Structure 1
């Protein structure tokens, strides 16, 4: 009989160990240690599936942004591929715990090919288990990576970063305050190609969805000087750039081009600007992503020196 329960202290941070897979085991241990240290999770949020003999056969960990008390997603979801019952029990237990803590929805992302530190091998089967447990695909995304020549890793390497676009004059959040940023976001979200953001607009309206996006992104580590609006020569806002750092990597966060200024190559310009800001702050490897339907943004990442290193399905389950 399989029992789902909180992991004991002696089971943290290893959780499920895979024999003969030391790379995976070391990476996931380090990842969970980081999540615990940064308060992205708590020991009581780490659930395991245990057999009668005490052997651990599955796990799921609730995740949130540092400083938040309500879980947003599940990570380190492990279950035997031949046991949908174990997978469902783990996800149901995580959903119940998250609901008790005030969550209205839980997310889980599946990367292909499998990426450290979660090593989500056999993504097709993982997707089946998630759907069986009430999760639906909320977004089909593409992941991009940039790293400087001094960095190590496997997400691509670039030479000299291109210069800023001389057509744009940038002003920061520190100078302008939040309102102009939220107003630009509301304009952009009104016709966004991002499935997840479009769903937020349908639910909340463009203005409220913009406020929520601003608040969510502001939950990531950043400096007010990093966040900028770029102005065209005619004095109107052309681009928005919100680079930040999540608990794993510096990220482009959110970038966008105002409708009146599309078709000018500004999408690439704003990705370059966010990248330059993060590199100046010490970043050596940067991540970014976009919806698969947003072809223009995918091309902008590539033109800015990024490499598409994985696809990402974002799943969500309403609670």
Structure 2
């Protein structure tokens, strides 16, 4: 029945087939409404949606990657589905992911896209979630995604307080991207952020800083929102980069230069970002931080942000 499956990227004519899969597993996935919406804004594309079919053309598996609308490179795997009747879901999913990964490498993308799984905070205590994750995590490892990182998801909504400005910092616009490159380089020193540390190891200090700049510029937020933070006496403290993604406003990126750490300035920077988005009428501000980055998690807690979920990130 499953002899000689075909693994390939989809094309526009496959849309009905791509939308035909359903699941009741308690993990994040691209349902038809989400898929159509993301297809419309450029986040999803037929070429970044891989499918497996049997000899009769029946859909056996689907994997959907997300990308910035302006970029040809898939950035993150959003969901993997394998038909429940497939005997070896682990092996089958690994073959589908492996075929896509080979194509990505052939296109010149040495770093495989991450796989993001969105879960409830108490996911470890839910047997149904554990079962849904088991075969997906095993397939990820077989296909080369052997790293695992847990990120806490936070949100601010209008019924929560807006932090008041303390007057400890003065914020100024800075149009020169090279100033931010230098600050990204400085604030990477001693960072507790896993992605920053991995990029430092992979790219070096300058490469990490420039990749951070490129990533921030690709986000839908405005470049004019970026600010530098100074003490009233004029000493540079750090920066705020409020931004947005396709879901709406996000905290984006903030950083304190090493010599100014330990003085509570991260709270001031997060407060400025929150005030900025709130003043623009944001109905929600999203944010993530690594579970092991306890100082940043505590900063969100102090600012009144709500921890509503977990992002499980699987990496090469």
**1:28 aligns to 2:28 (yes or no):** no
CA contact (8 A) 1:72 1:107 kept: yes
* Counterpart pick for 2:8 among 2, 5, 10: 5
Partner of 2:182: 183
Is 1:110 matched with 2:117? Answer: yes
CA distance in 1, matches of 2:228, 2:172: 6
Please point out which of 116, 123, 135 is paired with 2:133. 123
CA shift for structure 1 position 12:
4.3
Q: 1:65: how far off?
A: 0.9
Aligned partners of 1:162 and 1:121: how far apart in 2? 41
Which is further off, 224-233 or 5-14?
Answer: 5-14
In the TM superposition, what whole-angstrom CA distance separates every residue of 1:59-111 from its partner, at most 9, and x where no partner exists? Answer: 11232111111222222222257511220122012212322333222211122
Partner of 1:292: 291
RMSD: 2.7
Query: Normalized against structure 2, the TM-score is what?
Result: 0.85
Q: 1:40 aligns with which of 17, 31, 43?
A: 43
- Counterpart CA distance in 2 for 1:180 and 1:268 is 22
Distance 1:10 1:313, change over 3 A: closer
Q: Residues 174-218 of structure 1, C-alpha deviation per residue, up to 9 Å, x if partnerless? A: 4xx212222111111021111221111122222221111011111
Q: Identify the residue that residue 17 of structure 1 maps to in structure 2.
A: 21
1:132 to 142, 166, 190: 142
Q: Is the 8 A contact 2:78 2:117 kept in 1?
A: no
Partner of 1:61: 64
For residues 228-262 of structure 1, give each alpha carbon's deviation from its aligned partner in whole angstroms, at most 9, with x where no partner exists. 11112342221311111112232111112222222
Q: Structure 1 pair 191/28, CA: closer, same or farther in 2 (3 Å)?
A: same
Please give the TM-score of this superposition, normalised by the length of structure 1.
0.84
Q: Where does 1:82-231 land on structure 2 (aligned, <5 Å)?
A: 82-105=88-111, 106-113=113-120, 122-137=132-147, 139-149=149-159, 158=160, 160-174=161-175, 177-231=176-230
SS of residue paired to 2:22: coil
Counterpart secondary structure, 1:205: helix
**Structure 1 gap ranges (5+):** 150-157
Give 1:315 deviation, angstroms: 1.5
TM alignment of 1:239-278, pairs within 5 A:
239-278=238-277
Does structure 2 conserve the Cα–Cα contact (< 8 Å) formed by 1:243 and 1:253?
yes
Structure 2: unaligned runs, 5 residues or longer: 122-128
Say which is worse superposed, 100-109 or 45-54, in terms of deviation.
Answer: 45-54
1:121, 1:255 → 2: CA distance?
A: 37
